[in-house]
């Protein structure tokens, strides 16, 4: 392992919470595609499958930031365990209702209730921020490591979920995702030594972290970015079915995640100087351009190659996003701020998967890849329009009693590392989700 990554785990407890986080966030890469696969196998209706995937994403977009805000106030253990059990019960209800062919509205009710699933990736990143708060370079490597973990989930998760659904029984993928969620969250919250301390109400920013203008730009851009991911998953599954190899869809999607994983490994080893906002803008534009070749592929091998190269821009963009979150969100609201980026992705996944499902039903899988192309263009447009709000500020919001930050904070900002106080390296990335877990 390269030395920047090896140094991350010198602190006791870091290996354990990383492993628990990996297990817990597997649900992100397995649940949505598992629901699409399950419903398409049981009903043959991709429109319904995409609408259900959109419902769970939208429900998560509404509920997850509130869960993270409670975590900032009360701590991870007190909040995560009960909401995880609620989400697990709702997914169990969804599986039963799908298997028993209950009316469609019952599927939507259970899917909406499952949206309170916590953002496990944000919880792990908050632990890294607490452990390596005094070393921006290590924190950059930590966030890059988390992007690698995210993509590893997206390599393994779809293969497991689609493979189990198609070879065992249709409900198997979402069922295993739920088991991973419960096991991972309870393992993570059992580790009290590395849990970030809760912040009393008076230390939290007034109102939501989303009041930050910079965070608003990131979230809106990530709505369009999430649409890329959601649409790509649904259309790839349908394309593989049209080619007569539905089970191969998981391998094709794994190549997408593999490209991102490879880029994340390299990105974490580089020490950047200059504004993180500029790298973020380049990354978003690269994701948009990478959707163009998908319109030209005619078979699964070529699709896998195109998706691998498209994935190269994902992890660096996600890594940089977390650095920008830390520049624009008060420290006491860090978990909530990180979750809002996941929320933007979740909303985008909802729109993307739903739109892709309807396009596939109406015009076939080949036309479906127009959806992520349009989403990529929208993401680039929003990033350009909002770029000015992401430029480094002369002071970090909410970093001290007077809001001006410490001398070390200002020194790091002046150094051009992209840092923003003890939580801010030049860059970072949660996943997934829809790639931020």
Q: How far apart are CA 169 and CA 427, in angstroms?
A: 42
Domains (range + CATH), the chain = 14-198+208-414 (1.20.1250.20)
Note the pLDDT of residue 415.
34
pLDDT at 396: 43
Dihedral angle computed from the Cα positions of residues 36, 40, 46 and 52, in that order, rounded to the nearest 10 degrees? -40
Supply the pLDDT for residue 213: 79
| pLDDT lower than 70: segments of the chain | 1-3, 134, 200-210, 331-332, 391-437
pLDDT, residue 26, reads: 87
Which residues, listed in sequence order, are joined to residue 431 by a DSSP beta bridge? 436
The pLDDT assigned to 394 comes to 45
Phi/psi for 92 (5° steps) reads: -60, -40
> What pLDDT score was predicted for residue 400?
36
Tell me the C-alpha distance between 216 and 387, whole Å: 11
Q: Supply the pLDDT for residue 374.
A: 94
> How far, in Å, are 75, 84, 428 from residue 67 at the CA level?
11, 10, 22
CA distance 339 to 118: 9
267, 255, 349: which is closest to 54 by C-alpha?
A: 349
CB 255 within 8 A of CB 55: no
CA distance 31 to 398: 36
Output the pLDDT for position 30. Answer: 86
Please give the angle made by the CA atoms of 213, 68 and 215, to the nearest 5 degrees: 10
3-class DSSP state of 431: strand
Using CA atoms, how far apart are residues 81 and 261, in angstroms rounded to an integer?
30
List, in order, residues 6 or more apart from 85 with CB less than 8 Å away.
182
For residue 322, the model assigns a pLDDT of 80
Report the alpha-carbon distance of residue 88 to residue 380 in Å, rounded.
36
Contact 319, 283 (CB under 8 A): no
Paired strand residues for 436: 431, 432
Query: How many Cβ atoms from other residues are within 10 Å of residue 145's Cβ?
Result: 25
Residue 200: what pLDDT?
63
For residues 26-56, b (16+ Cβ closer than 10 Å) or e, as one string? bbbbbbbbbbbbbbbbbbeebbbbbbbbbbb
Is the alpha carbon torsion for 393, 210, 182, 199 positive or negative?
positive
Write out pLDDT tens, residues 300-343. 899 999 999 999 998 888 888 887 887 777 766 777 777 788 77
Judge whether 309 and 187 are in contact, CB under 8 Å: no
Among 127, 118, 119, 117, residue whose Cα is nearest residue 17? 127
What secondary structure letter does DSSP report for 245? Answer: -
- Is the C-alpha dihedral spanning 197, 199, 205, 207 positive or negative? positive
**What percentage of the chain's residues is helix, strand, coil (to nearest 5)?**
75, 0, 25
Residue 35 is predicted with a pLDDT of: 87
Q: What is the pLDDT of residue 121?
A: 84
Ranges of beta strands (E only) in 208-264 are none
Per-residue model confidence (pLDDT) at position 201: 58
């Amino acid at each position: 392992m390269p030395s920047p990554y090896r140094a991350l785990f010198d602190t006791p407890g870091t290996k354990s919470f990383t492993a628990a986080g990996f297990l817990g966030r597997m649900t992100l890469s397995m649940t949505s595609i598992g629901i699409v696969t399950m419903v398409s196998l049981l009903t043959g209706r991709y429109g319904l499958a995409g609408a259900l995937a959109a419902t769970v994403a939208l429900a998560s977009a509404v509920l997850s930031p509130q869960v993270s805000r409670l975590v900032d106030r009360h701590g991870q253990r007190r909040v995560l365990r009960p909401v995880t059990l609620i989400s697990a019960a709702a997914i169990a209800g969804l599986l039963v209702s799908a298997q028993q062919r209950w009316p469609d509205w019952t599927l939507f009710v259970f899917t909406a209730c499952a949206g309170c699933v916590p953002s496990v990736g944000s919880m792990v990143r908050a632990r890294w921020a607490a452990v390596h708060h005094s070393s921006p370079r290590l924190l950059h490597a930590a966030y890059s490591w988390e992007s690698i973990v995210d993509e590893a989930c997206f390599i393994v998760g779809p293969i497991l979920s689609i493979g189990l659904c198609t070879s065992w029984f249709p409900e198997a993928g979402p069922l295993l995702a739920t088991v991973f969620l419960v096991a991972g969250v309870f393992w993570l919250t059992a580790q009290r030594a590395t849990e970030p301390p809760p912040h009393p109400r008076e230390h939290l920013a007034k109102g939501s972290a989303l009041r930050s203008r910079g965070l608003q730009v990131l979230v809106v851009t990530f709505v369009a970015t999430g649409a890329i991911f959601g649409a790509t998953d649904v259309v790839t599954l349908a394309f593989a079915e049209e080619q007569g190899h539905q089970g191969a869809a998981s391998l094709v999607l794994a190549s997408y995640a593999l490209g991102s994983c490879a880029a994340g490994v390299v990105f974490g080893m580089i020490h950047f100087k200059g504004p993180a906002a500029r790298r973020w803008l380049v990354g978003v534009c690269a994701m948009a351009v990478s959707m163009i070749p998908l319109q030209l592929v005619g078979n699964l091998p070529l699709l896998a190659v195109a998706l691998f190269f498209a994935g190269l821009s994902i992890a660096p963009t996600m890594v940089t996003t977390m650095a920008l979150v830390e520049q624009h969100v008060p420290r006491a609201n860090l978990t909530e701020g990180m979750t809002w980026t996941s929320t933007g992705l979740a909303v985008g996944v909802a729109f993307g998967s739903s739109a892709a499902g309807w396009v596939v039903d109406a015009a076939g899988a080949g036309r479906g890849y127009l959806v992520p192309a349009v989403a990529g263009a929208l993401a680039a447009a929003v990033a350009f329009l909002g770029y000015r709000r992401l430029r480094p500020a002369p002071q970090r919001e909410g970093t001290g009693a007077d809001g001006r930050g410490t001398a070390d904070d200002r020194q790091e900002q002046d150094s051009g590392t992209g840092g923003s106080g003890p939580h801010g390296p030049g860059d970072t990335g949660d996943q997934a989700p829809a790639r931020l877990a």
